[in-house]
Amino acid sequence: MSTLIDRHLKIPKYLQMAESLREQIDSGQLQPDDRLPSFTEMKTQFDATQRTIEKAHALLEEDGLIRREPGRGIFVSHPQKRKITKNVGFLAPYNMRPEENITYWGSILAGMRSAVRDRGYHLLLIDNACEFEDWDKIDGAILCNMHDPRDPHPGMPQPPHDFLGVAILNQAEGFACVTADDCDGVYQLTQHLLGLGHRRIAYLAAMNVDLLIHQQRKEGYLKALSEANIEPDPRWMREIYWRPEWEGLPSWYPVAGEYYMHKWLEEDWAELGCTALVAQNDGAAQGAIKALHAAGLEVPRDVSVVGFDGLPARSGEPELTTIHEPLFDVGERAMRSLLDYLQNPSTAPQDVCLPVNLVVGQTTTAAPNLAYE
């Protein structure tokens, strides 16, 4: 006799039965108020005893998926409405350290607060987001999908399947995303360097293929070179990685920029003849500049350097040529989209890509007059 139970699985029969019914309910095969098959029908479908069937029903009833009506049978319940809390959350990524970089994360949070302020909601900042489980305490959330380099199995928080959320900065599967135009940002930076006469332009950045933000920035770099009919030497591109000895640092990008630039200078930087460098972000750019200076190279006289983010320079550091990201607008747009969705489910959030602006600072100048073969 053929049944819906797989006897080869080491999973109790009642759990398989409950999961089969759950899938039928979730898929709409069983609609609210539909009557579940009778015990006799269930015994035939699943080759199960009445006690096993009762255990499966108890699980579904506990989850609010079915209801018993004495004398009539067991029916699919209507979806339970979530209790409105008037709280929305920001599920902070691993690298959110506003005490270290108040301009970056502070701008994003300021945008969110601006959107929440007149809508009657409270904004909750949720640290250790991957460990968060109190989904019933918030009505929706802003998520930021970033890879923690210390985690070999990076992951996003796992909200319920019907949870309302909007991602920012980097796409997250299943959620609309509000981000800045990373591809165009690096494209503008590379074009700026090309316009100054640079033809050998190096690229020092994270290139994690799991994060769209890294893919897009590299695409912008390659696109600008391609349009200038320049075939980049693969050795012009160096990837930066987090290292265990940087555990506990408030920000690892400046030390990473310095570390990997120093290694590059010790290896083949001189023979490559690069006169300009595109760095992952402002922190990595400042670290690279420190290594270049230590090697006796002047910025921008010998090497022009550009960053990304548009953060204010610290005391004693040069004003970077960089891309200004509209961080306030990212936070505000994402939060307004989420609140609109909460208050009117017909206004589903859409992907939004905000424009970025080139800011010319003190770290770029015309290419040196070097002759290459």
315 and 188 within one domain:
yes
The pLDDT > 70 percentage for the chain reads 88
- Distances in Å between the Cα of 193 and the Cα atoms of 265, 322, 366 are 21, 11, 8
* Cα angle, residue 84 at apex, residues 83 and 90 outer, rounded to 5°: 115
Identify the residue with better confidence: 17 or 284. 284
For residues 112-135, average pLDDT:
85
Same-domain pairing of 51 and 100: no
Q: Is 321 helix (H, G, I), strand (E, B) or coil?
A: strand
pLDDT of residue 153: 44
CATH of the domain at 54: 1.10.10.10
Does residue 162 sit in the same domain as residue 197? Answer: no
Question: Does some domain include residue 93?
Answer: yes
Structural domain includes residue 81: no
Same domain, 279 and 339: no
Rg, the chain, Cα only: 27
pLDDT at position 95 is 62
The burial class, CB within 10 Å (0-12 / 13-18 / 19+), for 17 is buried
Q: Do 194 and 286 fall into the same domain?
A: yes
Domain count, the chain: 3
Record the tokens describing residue 21, joined without a space: 């019914």
Residue 180 confidence (pLDDT) above 70: yes
Distance CA 192, CA 306 (A): 10
Q: Among 309, 325, 341, where does a domain finish?
A: 325
Enumerate residues 6+ apart whose C-beta is below 8 A from 40.
none
pLDDT band at residue 373, thresholds of 50, 70 and 90?
A: very low
Q: Domain containing 47: what range?
A: 13-76
Instruction: Give the mean model confidence (pLDDT) for residues 199-213.
Output: 85
Residue 108 lies in a domain: yes
* 98 and 137 in a common domain: yes
Question: What integer pLDDT is reported at residue 315 of this predicted model?
Answer: 65
pLDDT of amino acid 4: 53
Pair 189, 321 in one domain = yes
Of residues 103 and 300, more confidence is placed in 300
In a domain, 203, yes or no: yes
The arithmetic mean of pLDDT across residues 59-74, rounded, is 84
**Does any domain span residue 301?**
yes
Q: Are residues 252 and 302 in the same domain?
A: yes
**How many whole angstroms separate alpha carbon 117 and alpha carbon 167?**
20
Whether 370 is covered by a domain: the verdict is no
Tell me if 67 is assigned to some domain: yes
Query: What count of Cα atoms within 13 Å lies in the side-chain half-sphere of residue 162?
Result: 8
224 within a domain of the structure (yes/no): yes
Residue 209 sits in the same domain as residue 254: yes
Are 53 and 97 found together in one domain? no
Confidence class for position 160, pLDDT limits 50, 70, 90: confident
The residue among 23 and 354 whose pLDDT is bigger is: 354
Distances (CA, A) of 136 to 87, 125, 140, 162: 10, 15, 9, 12
337 and 202 assigned to the same domain = no
**68 with 61: CB under 8 angstroms?**
yes
Question: Which residue type sits at 271?
Answer: E
- Tokens (6 digits) for 216: 């897009």
Which of 55, 76, 97 terminates a domain? The answer is: 76
Decide if pLDDT at 5 tops 80. Answer: no
Return the top range by mean pLDDT from 1-10, 273-282, 311-320.
Answer: 273-282
Distance CA 206, CA 196 (A): 25
Identify the band that residue 246 occupies on the pLDDT scale cut at 50, 70 and 90: confident
Name which residue leads in pLDDT, 131 or 31.
31
Whether 218 and 337 share a structural domain: no
- Phi and psi at 68, nearest 5°, equal -100, 135
For residue 230, the domain's CATH number is 3.40.50.2300
pLDDT at 370: 54
Backbone angles phi, psi at 300, to 5 degrees: -100, 10
> pTM of this prediction?
0.74
| Arithmetic mean of pLDDT over the chain | 85
